[in-house]
Amino acid sequence: MNRTLVFLFSLSIFLMACGTQSVATNVFDDTYGYSEKNPVKVGNLNPANSIEYLSSLTGPNGEDVSFDRLGSCCAFKTKNALIGDKGLLDKYWVTYEGKKDTVYLYMNIYDQAELGIPKGFKRK
């Protein structure tokens, strides 16, 4: 094989491996954000990240979203804790005009991952 073909073959293998890893580690399902087992991971130990993320959400037709922090809950293990290995999730109520119910979203400010969109919402 000539060098160009070897390079293209190697590049395609590399890209497939990267794509496979990305798909495997960033699975967004119906529980994303709605469950303490699958919180939105906004990271950096900064509560403002949660506000920024929630402010970026809209209803399914672009409706403005309202939210408020209910408090902390749901202790979990994390290597990014300030002291020891325990973190707490922040729980927010979230709704938008025309929504028949209020939902609760869980935010993790300790760990960071690709941000998805909870079912029933869109992002600006």
Q: Could you tell me the pLDDT band of residue 27, with boundaries at 50, 70 and 90?
A: low
Share of the chain above pLDDT 90, in %: 77
* pLDDT at 16 (0 to 100): 38
Q: Give the integer Cα–Cα distance in Å for 89 and 71.
A: 8
Q: Pick the residue with more confidence: 38 or 18? A: 38
Given a cut of 80, whether residue 20 has pLDDT beyond it is no
Share of the chain above pLDDT 70, in %: 78
Q: Could you tell me the pLDDT band of residue 41, with boundaries at 50, 70 and 90?
A: very high
pTM of the model: 0.77
And the tokens for 26? 């960033």
* pLDDT tens digit sequence for 75-109: 999 999 999 999 999 999 999 999 999 999 999 99
* pLDDT at 28 (0 to 100): 84
